């Protein structure tokens, strides 16, 4: 018997679909915008391929959003004060303990996460 592929969509993927739909873009146009091959993006959106943190970071840059704002979409947690070149970030996420390090890595980066863990 063949093993079934996991087709459950992650919250981030669901949010990317919302962003794509709100921008009124097809999967083809959206994949071009975020610079990912259409077939690869189609697999991500359909839940047949996982989205890596590296891919999410690249997508965020292309969408001119932060990774955390994609994760929490449509809520926005990063406001830019252009006058003072500062970011105001307010963050409250309920998450399962097993994904805490993954989210912290996304927010703080791997090196800063190591420093944060060492200081605790």
Question: Tell me, what's the pLDDT at 10?
Answer: 85
What does the pLDDT look like over 74-116, one tens digit per residue? 887 666 565 666 666 666 667 787 787 777 777 767 666 565 5
CATH of the domain at 59: 1.10.260.40
Residue-wise burial string across 34-67, b where 16 or more C-beta atoms lie within 10 A, e elsewhere: bebeeeebeebbeeebebeeebbeebbeebebbb
User: What is the model's pLDDT at position 111?
Assistant: 66
Is residue 81 located within the same domain as residue 107? no
Residue 51 shares a structural domain with residue 98: no
Kindly report the pTM of this predicted structure: 0.60
Query: CA–CA separation, 58 vs 2, rounded Å?
Result: 34
Total domains present in the chain: 2
Q: What is the mean pLDDT of residues 18-34?
A: 95
Under 8 Å CB-to-CB from 45, ≥6 apart: which residues?
A: 9, 13, 16, 17, 27
**Statement to judge: residues 98 and 118 lie in one domain:** yes
58 compared with 83, residue with greater pLDDT: 58
| pLDDT of amino acid 6 | 52
Q: Where in the sequence is the domain holding 26, given as residue range(s)? A: 1-89
The pLDDT score that the predictor gives to residue 4 is 44
* Residue partners of 46: CB distance under 8 A and separation at least 6: 7, 9
Say what percent of the chain tops pLDDT 70.
69
Shared domain check, 66 and 7? yes
């Amino acid at each position: 018997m063949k093993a079934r592929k996991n087709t459950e969509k992650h919250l981030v993927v669901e949010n990317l679909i919302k962003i794509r739909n709100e921008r009124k873009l097809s999967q083809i146009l959206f994949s071009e915008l975020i610079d990912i091959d259409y077939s690869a993006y189609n697999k991500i959106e359909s839940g047949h391929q996982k989205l890596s943190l590296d891919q999410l970071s690249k997508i965020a840059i292309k969408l001119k959003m932060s990774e955390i704002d994609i994760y929490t979409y449509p809520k926005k947690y990063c406001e830019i004060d252009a006058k003072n070149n500062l970011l105001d970030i307010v963050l409250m996420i309920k998450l399962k303990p097993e994904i805490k390090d993954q989210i912290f890595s996304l927010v703080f980066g791997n090196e800063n996460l190591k420093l944060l863990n060492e200081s605790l």
